[in-house]
Amino acid sequence: MKLKYKRILIKFSGEAFSGKKSFGLDFGSIRAIAKELVGLRRAGVDLAVVVGGGNIFRGRAIPRQTIDQATADYMGMIGTLINALALQAEIEKQGAETRVMTALSMKEVAEDYIRRKATSHLSKGRIVLFAAGTGNPYFTTDTAAALRALEIGAEVLLKATTHVDGVYTGDPNKDKKAKKLSEVTFQEALVQHLKIMDSTAFSLCQDNKLPTVVFKYEPGVLAKVLRGEKVGTLVR
């Protein structure tokens, strides 16, 4: 397989781990993701993954009168670690090496995130799974994905969604006239107020010229993106 990118970071939402369920883990879905990631690794891709935790706990949905936002965000970070450990188990069942690195210290189950260790793992052919976001409340896993992609020298950030197959001029679920964009610049996205990721993540990608591909995840789509095929929306 001729690859357009050598080192990538993929951001999966927590919903990708729950499959057709509304909550929790669907190991059939996780196994399918793991199989595809292992295939990419064997094709020679340096592969890092940031996982969300919305299928376990979504801190932003908790009423503020019950739990303060910082505490809720920390609870959500722990949810991402659950997903990362599940994905690690499925990847290793398929014969690939992997490491879970967490921004919250949990030494019994995962390595603390250190940039040099992460890049060392990647250079040794291990799939690196980043959990617990940035380790700070008030930041999303989109921001964590942009930050980690820049830290490891990824050539592209791939944002895999479960709802839409790219970036549209409006909400395709509400606006029938909304059109899908195959490619857009960061500046155009700002002017048109296109919803791609949170503003902090967007600024990191724009300021550091990190191209981002937004697409709907389904089996086989990652290989298409890496071959440079027209999938989703390229933000450059």
54 labelled binding-site residue: yes
161 is in an annotated binding site: yes
pLDDT interval class at 225 (50, 70, 90): very high
For Cα atoms 132, 53, 29, give the angle at the middle one, nearest 5 degrees: 125
| Confidence band of 42 (pLDDT split at 50, 70, 90) | very high
Query: Per the annotation, does 168 bind a ligand?
Result: yes
User: What are the two backbone dihedrals, phi and then psi, of residue 180, each rounded to the nearest 5 degrees?
Assistant: -80, 135
Residue 206 has pLDDT above 90, yes or no: yes
CATH architecture of 7-235: 3-Layer(aba) Sandwich (3.40)
93 is in an annotated binding site: no
How many other CB atoms sit within 10 Å of the CB of residue 92?
14
- The single-letter DSSP state of residue 60 is G
Q: Distance between CA 160 and CA 28 in Å, rounded?
A: 18
Is 166 among the annotated ligand-binding positions? Answer: no
215 neighbors 233 (Cβ within 8 angstroms): yes
73 is in an annotated binding site: yes
pLDDT value of residue 22? 81
35 known member of a binding site: no
Residues 145-167, mean pLDDT to the nearest whole number: 95
Instruction: Confirm or deny that 11 is annotated as ligand binding.
Output: yes
**At a CB cut-off of 8 Å and minimum separation 6, what does 138 contact?**
69, 70, 73
Contact 46, 7 (CB under 8 A): yes
At 58 the pLDDT is 78
Predicted confidence band at 141 (pLDDT cuts at 50, 70, 90)? Answer: very high
Residue 20 pLDDT: 87
C-alpha gyration radius of the chain:
17
What is the per-residue pLDDT across 161-172, written as a single tens digit (0 to 9) for each? 988 899 998 887
**Which of 66-70, 194-198, 202-206 is the most confident on average?**
202-206
pLDDT at 1 over 70: no
For range 200-225, the mean pLDDT: 94
Cα angle for residues 185, 190, 191 (degrees, 5° grid) = 100
CB 39 within 8 A of CB 223: yes
Q: Can you give 91-136 as a three-state secondary structure string?
A: HHHCCCCEEEEECCCCCCCCEECCHHHHHHHHHCCCEEEEECCCCC
Segment 54-76 shows an average pLDDT of 84
Closest listed residue to residue 3, CA positions, set 166, 155, 188, 206? 155
Tell me how far the alpha carbon of residue 80 is from its chain's centroid.
11
List the domain boundaries for the chain. 7-235
Averaged over 166-183, what is the pLDDT?
A: 87
Q: Is 135 annotated as a binding residue?
A: yes
Is 134 annotated as ligand-binding? Answer: yes
d(CA 217, CA 33): 9
Mean pLDDT of the chain: 93
Whole-structure pTM value: 0.93
Q: What's the average model confidence in pLDDT over 21-33?
A: 93
183: pLDDT strictly greater than 90:
yes
What pLDDT band is residue 18 in, cutting at 50, 70 and 90? very high
> Region 120-146: what's the mean pLDDT?
97
**According to the annotation, is 141 in a ligand binding site?**
yes
